[in-house]
Structure 1
């Protein structure tokens, strides 16, 4: 089954055109695929047979149109003519064993329902055909030049009365229709003549006694002219109206005709093929954007972000700024060549927030109602009645907890001051880690990190907190060693795992990666002065923890401090090119995370339960296709000419690690009085209202009140 689209520009006399896009439905693809009719026929037939099949398609459709026109003319003889009216029709054709199709159905409107169930694809195909129709019927004003106007007056004096040299008498409407048909034949477009056609008759008309014969002569003239220029007897391959050249396999017009998005984005400036850079903003609830650019020339290939990127993709949109690069490439060379690049900068707004100036209530939440990770527990904001007076410092990082935020009402999250949201463990608190004490805590320590980009971000956060600056950072996917931290008194090393971009046979095993990290960090002390931080988004399992125990035993390092960063939220959005987890799979992941926490405790390791911390705020991810990053590197501008990179954490795990290391160094009994939890209701308000947003330890953020320009660190 094939749906083809026919544009009828006149009924009496009949003039019609066939669009080159068709929707093909086969046994292998019952939901239709948009494809050029000529290409579809060439895929299944040899060139001669495909050319014959295309002629048969035109003849079959023309006969149906002629019959309909004859019937219509009898009914509308007394009604005045609409000279420049048009109608798009959808013909459903059935191909069987013969190259001659059968007309199964005619729809009196543009129908793309035969396409896949994806409404986005349907809308794009529909828009493309409608755009081609408008460009075809309403050509640029440059086509209607003064020369054309003078020519029409001259031709009008020749054919508009019986005194002309050919003796043809045309009414004003007939002459206008003739001139319009000539203009359509001269316009390069995605439409090709259907009727009248010289090929549909066995011979040319014997006289020019009526308008249809004159239209046939015009069609024959332009067809012969096109065939001579192309040196072929086959029908010409048409280009969209924005293109000025024939499609010969070269990307000679490397421009976009349109950028389609779902949801529709308002681009600034408005789209134009010659403008290469755009900006747009989306709301907080918009977490993905589907984008499909369409080139002016079908000879040009479109790839998103990289040479071998997809033509169409779902993009996760992190908070703040994201960038989408659209590459228009020429694929006629052995190695595709980038001809032009379009860039769309997308800014996603933060969660709507209402500043607190007076009365408020404290609300808490564990999970979002739009993603029920724990079906048996409440979701959304709940009134919070936790007591501060009985709490002690937390002795571990896997204590269950909840997010707490001040609101006018717990029934409406739009009334909350989300700048002041804070993670609160149940029954304890994470003490403040002052900078001098933190430097003292890290003195003579070696911290080893192994894991993916989320662990790498924690490492950079630690380095920035200890050193007060971040002089060296990047998207490292190998092993790094930093020996100049804390005035040379602290060593930090990192090994990226897993190396997913390599073939499975070439990827280092977890044991090999850990062994290499230990070797690069030597000499190591078998005490809690050596800290190993292991973790990632979702690759970690209990087998990795057993491997850690075996390797440390073999290296006589069984007494070092091991901190396990458990699983985290991510891969929950339908993004092209990476796996996407269903709700059931996310719920299974939560149970697997519990197993990891239990196994880590069995081995005597400490745990930071990042899954529980991130699941309630899964929408607040930053840049990265996995939607699993809750930190990024930003520029802290000290002056007009001076900027320092700092890590902006969405507050989830890095500060918990620092608080925990601080606790393990000094113990809860030695905490200064200033680090004790607040004791009064007034102090409780101070804790939440004035603590920096997203800081589980209630530390002050040095970037607050500034407007840093984000530099995305993570890329997984």
Structure 2
């Protein structure tokens, strides 16, 4: 409390003890206006290079050092060996040991002198502050302590000037959030190691220890109990191995009173100094910390802490010996930055894979995601995994408020957090629903639309029942195809899919819908053919494109991948009995569609039904290791998407505008680093169909308070006569555009029959 008062701001940054002291800036190596101005950018003196060959300043730098004061009267304080330094040439600061920085800047002889000057300057300021407080109060707090941050300015001399004192830890200059957290935790852990020794109380044993201690260090008797306790604690603190080095008392001269408490403290300090100097050269090692552990083998392959931004609450609380954790985040948390810190500097940390990065931005999809942290031996030429930590992260769905009474219908086309179309409204808007009886079925899968949802108020999305959100095309509707009709319209037809994992998600949805189950699934990255669908009456084949994991000169071209898919799917009829679904998240362009036309014409398949899945949202988060799109680039994607749809229409192809569907719900991605997957395959625990498949398709019908006539993103179809499979495709957004695909396939088939 005394230090808090001494370094408080009495106005304009003037320190309290300076305002009531006769000391001037000439008497004390400290700017008087150094209190209460935290986080101010340091002002370095400008270098003045004269025409002569005068040497430049010895050192121009700002250094934050961290002081632990354990007693005010008498003064006892410790200096941590870690500092945050920033030279006049640096834009940001860096964490370094004081000795290492000064040695790097000044060399061995001058750096030792600078260390002594740091101790002298800080000691002088603390003495001045404690002397003033001692005059005002004789109350002594043995168990009190205070951490301080001293900002020191070196301007061409080995003697610094104190320009800022903070009564809390500050890390001005450190740009990275994790570096600030790690540095703070290191200092606090070292502080606790010094302070939280075994409980000290004045028992009979304690008195005996104190008596023995007093006899050993001066033979004084009769010192009061508070002095005894302070001496015992000081003795324990000096015995503690820590990065904190004694700063004060350190005067070589003893007080005239041999039993004065300050003299006794000095004698204890001299005793430990003598023991230390007999073991090692203090000129080479000025702290009593353990040797640098960054060299050699990883002998303790554990994590010291897992740092995250935003901070995750781990269950169980972090313990280096515990390897598995789980945590939950809310819907709006779409990404977590994670930085694990090993116990030993000789150990290396990698995320997700052997050579993965040490720190990453990790996208958090809806539902469960797993983060793997690998601790490896840095001394080995190839990473050898020694310990694996796993963090299961569960991201909640959008909060939903059930509708039990009157409500209004709201709609949205884009999220205000990612405004792709600046000229159009974002977020929830009032929506006027039309009766389905007045609407016609949509003539194309590219018909624009919006999401509709019932809410208590369109001005607050927390009042909506998001379980009822549905896709509503403008002025039309997409007929939903029930299982018998779907099985009938796909009889004797072959469906070929070419594209990436988003295209594959539509394929597996079709397979589950037509079979009312999904027994065969895999993250295929090659060509597959499924012939057991619809009782053997429907064939589905798939080719993954582009194979981005291969070197560019080794990747099959789109033409080659398409030809391989066609040849693996033969024989094919040149009619709408053959369907080609082409598309992906963001690789497709108009040249690919022209290639489709050329290949089909050459293969005498110009009359087959081609469905183009357009672009989709994804890559909008700054994730490490993959491309990240800016808002401008996403807006450009929207224009490219329009060109793709226009080209598809010109070529006579069907198009499904998945970009417009995913744009408003870009936060609802599932697992995957790209934040582009709106589907996920889950394994069923039994052969019983999932609850979501146990009802007929859910249509939102028009009432006075209903949300409209859209296709619900929770809709599913189940043929209850067939047993459920072992897998299920979940994902409401994928479900909507996949249902539109099925609707267009069967509607086009009926139109062909009528013609």
Kindly tell me: are residues 17 and 320 of structure 1, through their superposed partners in 2, closer, same or farther at Cα, counting changes over 3 Å?
Answer: same
- SS of 2:736's partner is coil
- SS of 1:652's partner is helix
Residue in structure 2 matching 1:157, options 211, 224, 241: 211
> Does the 8 Å contact 1:160/1:172 carry over to 2?
no
Query: Which residue of structure 1 lines up, in the alignment, with residue 438 of structure 2?
Result: 390
Kindly tell me: are residues 8 and 222 of structure 1, through their superposed partners in 2, closer, same or farther at Cα, counting changes over 3 Å?
Answer: farther
- SS of 1:484's partner is strand
Query: Which residue of structure 2 lines up, in the alignment, with residue 59 of structure 1?
Result: 116
Query: Which residue of structure 1 lines up, in the alignment, with residue 301 of structure 2?
Result: 254
Q: How does 1:432-511 map to 2 (within 5 A)?
A: 432-511=480-559
Task: Give the CA deviation at 1:165.
Answer: 8.7
Query: Which residue of structure 2 lines up, in the alignment, with residue 80 of structure 1?
Result: 139
Kindly tell me: are residues 629 and 489 of structure 1, through their superposed partners in 2, closer, same or farther at Cα, counting changes over 3 Å?
Answer: same
Residue in structure 2 matching 1:620, options 661, 665, 668: 668
Query: Which residue of structure 1 lines up, in the alignment, with residue 362 of structure 2?
Result: 315
Corresponding position: 1:68 with 2:137: no
> Does the 8 Å contact 1:159/1:168 carry over to 2?
no
Deviations along 1:420-457, one digit per CA (max 9) or x if unpaired, are 22212223221121222222322232222222211111
Corresponding position: 1:7 with 2:68: yes
Corresponding position: 1:167 with 2:219: yes
Cα distance in 1 between the residues matched to 2:679 and 2:217: 82
Cα distance in 2 between the residues matched to 1:40 and 1:504: 45
- SS of 1:580's partner is coil
Kindly tell me: are residues 106 and 533 of structure 1, through their superposed partners in 2, closer, same or farther at Cα, counting changes over 3 Å?
Answer: same
Query: Which residue of structure 2 lines up, in the alignment, with residue 696 of structure 1?
Result: none
Query: Which residue of structure 1 lines up, in the alignment, with residue 468 of structure 2?
Result: 420
Task: Give the CA deviation at 1:128.
Answer: 3.8
> Does the 8 Å contact 2:335/2:364 carry over to 1?
yes
Cα distance in 1 between the residues matched to 2:363 and 2:521: 24
Q: How does 1:36-55 map to 2 (within 5 A)?
A: 36-37=97-98, 40=101, 44=104, 52=109, 55=112
Cα distance in 1 between the residues matched to 2:373 and 2:226: 47
Query: Which residue of structure 2 lines up, in the alignment, with residue 659 of structure 1?
Result: 743
Deviations along 1:110-153, one digit per CA (max 9) or x if unpaired, are 453423455565345334423432333224x4xx599x988754
> Does the 8 Å contact 2:102/2:114 carry over to 1?
no
Deviations along 1:358-417, one digit per CA (max 9) or x if unpaired, are 444333222223322222222223222323223222232101112122333433333332
Q: How does 1:71-110 map to 2 (within 5 A)?
A: 71-72=128-129, 74-75=131-132, 76=134, 79-93=138-152, 100=158, 102-103=160-161, 105-110=163-168
Deviations along 1:473-521, one digit per CA (max 9) or x if unpaired, are 2222233232333333333222222233333333333333333333333
> Does the 8 Å contact 2:148/2:165 carry over to 1?
yes
Task: Give the CA deviation at 1:95.
Answer: 6.1
Deviations along 1:246-277, one digit per CA (max 9) or x if unpaired, are 66543333333333333333322233333322
Which deviates more, 187-196 or 522-531?
187-196
Cα distance in 2 between the residues matched to 1:73 and 1:282: 47
Q: How does 1:565-604 map to 2 (within 5 A)?
A: 565-604=613-652
Task: Give the CA deviation at 1:86.
Answer: 2.7
- State TM-score, norm by structure 1: 0.81
- Return 5+ residue gaps in structure 2 as ranges: 1-60, 690-723
- SS of 1:291's partner is strand
- SS of 1:279's partner is strand
Cα distance in 2 between the residues matched to 1:112 and 1:292: 20
Corresponding position: 1:114 with 2:172: yes
- Return 5+ residue gaps in structure 1 as ranges: 672-716
- SS of 1:587's partner is helix
- SS of 1:487's partner is helix
Cα distance in 1 between the residues matched to 2:68 and 2:278: 23
Kindly tell me: are residues 34 and 177 of structure 1, through their superposed partners in 2, closer, same or farther at Cα, counting changes over 3 Å?
Answer: same
Task: Give the CA deviation at 1:41.
Answer: 5.8
Cα distance in 1 between the residues matched to 2:300 and 2:538: 57
Cα distance in 1 between the residues matched to 2:87 and 2:442: 63
Kindly tell me: are residues 92 and 499 of structure 1, through their superposed partners in 2, closer, same or farther at Cα, counting changes over 3 Å?
Answer: farther
Q: How does 1:360-379 map to 2 (within 5 A)?
A: 360-379=407-426
Kindly tell me: are residues 216 and 114 of structure 1, through their superposed partners in 2, closer, same or farther at Cα, counting changes over 3 Å?
Answer: same
> Does the 8 Å contact 1:287/1:316 carry over to 2?
yes
Kindly tell me: are residues 255 and 504 of structure 1, through their superposed partners in 2, closer, same or farther at Cα, counting changes over 3 Å?
Answer: same
Query: Which residue of structure 2 lines up, in the alignment, with residue 216 of structure 1?
Result: 269
Cα distance in 2 between the residues matched to 1:616 and 1:486: 34
Deviations along 1:492-551, one digit per CA (max 9) or x if unpaired, are 222222233333333333333333333333333333222222211122222222222233
Query: Which residue of structure 2 lines up, in the alignment, with residue 562 of structure 1?
Result: 610
Cα distance in 2 between the residues matched to 1:624 and 1:483: 29
Task: Give the CA deviation at 1:624.
Answer: 1.5
Which deviates more, 564-573 or 179-188?
179-188
Residue in structure 1 matching 2:196, options 138, 145, 153: 138
Matched residues, number: 651
Cα distance in 1 between the residues matched to 2:615 and 2:131: 75
- State TM-score, norm by structure 2: 0.77
- SS of 1:505's partner is helix
Task: Give the CA deviation at 1:662.
Answer: 1.0
Kindly tell me: are residues 269 and 330 of structure 1, through their superposed partners in 2, closer, same or farther at Cα, counting changes over 3 Å?
Answer: same
Cα distance in 2 between the residues matched to 1:82 and 1:73: 13
Kindly tell me: are residues 439 and 575 of structure 1, through their superposed partners in 2, closer, same or farther at Cα, counting changes over 3 Å?
Answer: same
> Does the 8 Å contact 2:242/2:288 carry over to 1?
no
Cα distance in 2 between the residues matched to 1:252 and 1:135: 22
Q: How does 1:496-535 map to 2 (within 5 A)?
A: 496-535=544-583
Cα distance in 2 between the residues matched to 1:643 and 1:404: 32
Which deviates more, 264-273 or 565-574?
264-273
